[in-house]
Chains A and B, each alone.
Chain A
Amino acid sequence: MDRFLYLTFDGLSRGAVYAAFALALVLIWRAARIVNFAQGAMAVATAYAGYSVADATGSYWLGFLVAVTGGLVLGAVVERVVMRFVDHSSPLNGVVVALGLVLIIQGVLGMIYGDGYRPAPAPFSRDAFEIGGIAILSRYDLFVFAAVGAVVVLLTLLFTRTATGLRMRAAAFAPDVSRLLGVPVGGMLTLGWALAAAVGSLAGMLVLPTELGLHPNAMDLLFVSAFTAAVVGGLDSPVGAVVGGLVVGLLLAYVGGYLGATVAPMAVLVLLVVVLLGRPDGLFARAKARTA
């Protein structure tokens, strides 16, 4: 029972990060109908920038800010400079270009920072509190929950309460009609990419301290888990992404805890295959219109 509780909390805190990262994928999917396979590499690039600033200034929070702002900028640049010119008549075109971006970003990071792992310290203690003798949550876990929760709340408010959110949704669903109504569709697309990349960078900053550290390929495995989370949630549904992220986090924790760490990545792939076979539109496909 102790072990189960421990694994559950561990799974939820990992799941929160997957949820944030899946949310980033969903944001771009909704805006542009592209699965941004470069999301992980982009997040690592901004994390390098963030930790460089943190090292130079001694302030983790300044670095954190640089990473997230860097995501915002990088997302906008990628949309404006690269994705805007991709022919979207076939969905594969965007995927291939995104994969190309991964190679370029990882290559450049390797040239600048080398192939070794660099430390990615956490801003809070990762030692878990003990309640009744069971190690449950650390300060850092609480920070992760708070950060992801804040992102979810802010995005929800943006999309449901603000004029810009309504413009973004309209531009994604019906670009031509939106244009006729005066919505700058191109600008909304850039904003969508910028927000998504910023959320991706945030997720990167949250997860790197819990893994081996900074490396050009550091987000590759996380990408698979987050992609699975997004697909489980239906790719189109922000609520689905959050639930999907938590499901994947729990699955990884339980399988890793009870069956061994080497089996865990397999479990994610099995979940992906099962969902694609059973409910290819995701568990939340039906609810998509209502949660939009």
Chain B
Amino acid sequence: MTTGRPQGTGLLEVDGLTAGYGAAPVLHDVDLTVGAGRIVAVLGANGAGKTTLLRTISGLLPAAAGRITFDGVDLRGVKVERMVRHGIAHVPEGRGVVTELTVDENLRLGNLWRRRPKKRGGLDEIYDLFPALAGRKNHLGHQLSGGERQMLAIGRALAARPRLLLLDEPSLGLAPKLTAQILGLLRDLRDRTGLAVLLVEQNVRSALSIADEGVVLNLGRIAARERADKLAGDADLRHAYLGF
């Protein structure tokens, strides 16, 4: 692959990762680097291991082999609930809004990993980012539309002030305009705050439009790693792994 991996400069470094459910690994020997202030899109067919990759990085699944380091810290043995302290926030597939809690309570959860959560903990800033949520502070999660839930899940992750955001299929069930807004927001955050994003997205074109780099997973192995603009223009790769 043409882009040389910047050795040792990544915020997140994944080396030789093998992981999966039970005895059969889904991921085989995966190497990956996400630098600070970079958006890396993980692409590939369903079943390629994209979600498994995010779940292993955030500790929801154990790694069978390999190393994951974040800002120099070895994440092996770090419990899921400690990840957010290290600066990693994971918005899972299906959004994970707590439907029994209100919008405001959900957002406050983003802040609760601190021993002494700040009173409003910068939530006003999140409401500024997502004005649609500001009008619905006291609505319960299950009263929200799909788009609002996605905004809430992302807003809650941002409230944790992460340095790396793991984002699984943010466009699922969202109108194109809303998808574009959310992706645009990620690009702004990257530029303004240096947020790094590992983005799993089925909508390849949208994902590559904001990503710096694209990684193609095929049957659990890295099949290609390219600059996003090159990947978007590479018809052979698209045909081979992305189906269009």
In their complex, do chains A and B touch, with some C-beta pair under 8 Å? yes
Chain A residues closer than 8 Å to B85, beta-carbon distance: 182
Supposing A177-B92, A179-B80, A181-B113 touch, asked if A170 and B60 sit within 8 A by C-beta, the answer is no
Least CB distance, B115 to chain A, in whole angstroms: 9
Is the Cβ of A163 less than 8 Å from the Cβ of B81? no
Q: Are B101 and A169 in contact (CB under 8 A)?
A: yes
A166-189 residues with Cβ-Cβ distance < 8 A to B are 166-167, 169-170, 173-174, 176-185
| Complex contacts, B82 vs chain A, CB 8 Å | 182
- List A contacts of B110 (CB < 8 A): 181
**In contact, A163 and B112 (Cβ under 8 angstroms):** yes
Q: Does A177 contact B96, Cβ atoms closer than 8 Å?
A: yes
At the interface, yes or no: A292 with Cβ under 8 Å from chain B? yes
Q: Which residues of chain B come closer than 8 Å to A183, judged between CB atoms? A: 81, 109, 112-113
Interface residues of A in 262-292 (CB under 8 A from B): 289-290, 292
Establish whether residues B140 and A166, one from each chain, have CB atoms under 8 Å apart when the complex forms.
no
CA distance A163 to B98 in the complex (A): 16
Q: Is the CB of A169 within 8 A of B100?
A: yes
> Are A181 and B156 within 8 A (Cβ)?
yes
B47 at the interface (CB under 8 A from A): no
A180-200: CB near B (< 8 Å → 1, else 0) gives 111111000000000000000
Q: Contacting A289 at CB < 8 Å: which of B84, B109, B140, B156?
A: B140
Contact B92 A292 (CB under 8 A): no
- Indicate if B83 sits at the interface (CB-CB under 8 A): yes
Shortest beta-carbon distance, A277 to chain B, in Å? 27
- C-alpha gap A99/B84 in the complex (Å): 39
A181 touches B60 (CB 8 A): no
Residue of A nearest to B159 (CB): A181
For residue B150, CB closer than 8 A to chain A, the reply is no
Does B58 have its Cβ within 8 Å of any Cβ on chain A? yes
- B160 lies within 8 A of A181 (CB): yes
Q: Mark B49-67, 1 if CB is under 8 A from A, else 0.
A: 0000000001010000000
Do the beta carbons of A173 and B80 come within 8 Å of each other? no
**Which chain A residues border B81 with CB–CB below 8 Å?**
178-180, 182-185
* B240 CB to nearest chain A CB (Å): 33
CB-defined contacts of A174 to chain B, threshold 8 Å? 96, 98
**Which residues 131-172 of A have a CB within 8 angstroms of B?**
163, 166-167, 169-170
For chain B, the count of residues having a C-beta within 8 Å of the partner chain is 27
Distance in Å: Cβ of A179 to nearest Cβ of chain B: 4
Cβ 8 A contact of A173, one of B90, B98, B117: B98
State whether the Cβ of B89 lies closer than 8 Å to any Cβ in chain A. yes
Q: For residue B142, which residues in chain A have a CB less than 8 angstroms away from its CB?
A: 289
Q: Which residues of chain B come closer than 8 Å to A167, judged between CB atoms?
A: 109, 112
B60 and A180 contact, CB distance less than 8 A = yes
| Residue on A nearest B156 in the bound complex, by CB | A181
Interface centre among B60, B85, B99, B112 (most CB of A within 10 A): B112
Complex contact B112–A176 (CB within 8 A) = no
Contact B112 A166 (CB under 8 A): yes
Least Cβ–Cβ distance between A72 and chain B, in angstroms: 22
Instruction: Decide yes or no: A178 and B109 within 8 Å by CB, A183-B81, A289-B142 being known contacts.
Output: yes
Chain B residues within an 8 Å CB radius of A289: 100, 140, 142
Q: Is the CB of B80 within 8 A of A177?
A: no
Contact B89 A180 (CB under 8 A): yes
Are B101 and A181 closer than 8 Å at their CB atoms?
A: no
Given known A-B contacts A181-B110, A183-B112, A185-B81, A176 and B100 have beta carbons under 8 A apart: no
The residue on B at minimum CB distance from A174 is B98
CB-CB nearest in chain A for B94: A177
Interface residues in A80-120 by Cβ distance below 8 A to B read none
A180 touches B80 (CB 8 A): yes
Are the CB atoms of A166 and B96 closer together than 8 Å? Answer: no
Chain B residues near A173 (CB, 8 Å)?
A: 98-101
A180, B90: Cβ atoms closer than 8 Å: yes
- Does A180 contact B100, Cβ atoms closer than 8 Å? no
Instruction: Determine the distance from Cα of A179 to Cα of B85 in the docked complex, in whole angstroms.
Output: 12
Q: Are B83 and A180 in contact (CB under 8 A)?
A: yes
Bound Cα distance A170, B113 (Å): 12
Residues in B neighbouring A178, C-beta threshold 8 A: 81, 98, 109
How long is the Cα–Cα vector from A169 to B96 in the complex, in angstroms? 14
Q: Does B108 belong to the interface (CB within 8 Å)? A: yes
CB-CB under 8 A from A184, the residues of chain B are 81
| Alpha-carbon distance between A181 and B105 when the two chains are bound, in angstroms | 13
A177 vs B92: C-alpha distance when bound (angstroms): 8
Can you list 13 A-B pairs with a CB-CB distance of less than 8 A? Answer: A166-B112, A167-B109, A170-B101, A176-B92, A178-B98, A179-B60, A179-B80, A180-B80, A180-B81, A182-B81, A182-B83, A182-B85, A183-B112
| Contact surface of A with B, Cβ cutoff 8 Å | 163, 166-167, 169-170, 173-174, 176-185, 289-290, 292
Given contacts A173-B100, A179-B80, 6 further A-B pairs with CB under 8 A are A166-B108, A166-B112, A170-B112, A173-B99, A178-B98, A181-B110
Pick the 4 closest A-B CB pairs, nearest first. A182-B113, A182-B84, A177-B96, A179-B80
